[in-house]
Amino acid sequence: MSIDKKRKAEPLCRIRDIYRLINDFEGVLQKNFKVGLNEGMLLCSLYTLGECSSGKVAELLGLTLSNSSKVIISAEKKGLVKRIIGEVDKRQMIFKLTDEGKKCIEAIKCDSDKILELITKIREI
């Protein structure tokens, strides 16, 4: 392959390598904490903000409403998130961490060496 072709392919190859690292990291989250990456990001968002509407969750996670709903439902089934009816608009659902969800995100934060390791590897790419 010519040097010119290699240069053109390099950005895509870097993205591939980053994707692989993130995928491997998700495997660690699944194994150690029984949550996927999107669920972990949901927990982190709720931990930081306290509570969120489903629309805000979708925005924060960069997902469609449909996909964020699936993530929320999965976290609810695991007992990590609870659903609260909105005070002003009874049709609105607000999501908040359960005590179990708080324990989970705090355990993930305590194990942040894996996250720092991932960030270091991404920077090297």
* Residue range 61-113, pLDDT digits in tens: 999 999 999 999 999 999 999 999 877 777 788 999 999 999 999 998 766 67
Task: Determine the pLDDT at residue 42.
Answer: 96
At residue 118, the pLDDT reads: 76
Q: What is the pLDDT of residue 81?
A: 97
Q: Is pLDDT above 90 for 117?
A: no
Mean pLDDT of the chain: 87
Burial of 50 from C-beta contacts in 10 A (0-12 / 13-18 / 19+) = exposed
- What are the residue ranges spanned by the domains of the chain? 3-124
Predicted TM-score (pTM) of the model is 0.81
What is residue 1's predicted lDDT score, i.e. its pLDDT?
A: 52
What confidence category does residue 8 fall into, taking pLDDT thresholds of 50, 70 and 90?
A: low
pLDDT average, residue stretch 35-64: 93
The secondary structure of the chain as a DSSP string is --HHHHHHHHHHHHHHHHHHHHHHHHHHHHHHHS--HHHHHHHHHHHHHSEEEHHHHHHHHT--HHHHHHHHHHHHHTTSEEEEE-SS-TT-EEEEE-HHHHHHHHHHHHTTHHHHHHHHHHHH-
CATH class of 3-124: mainly alpha
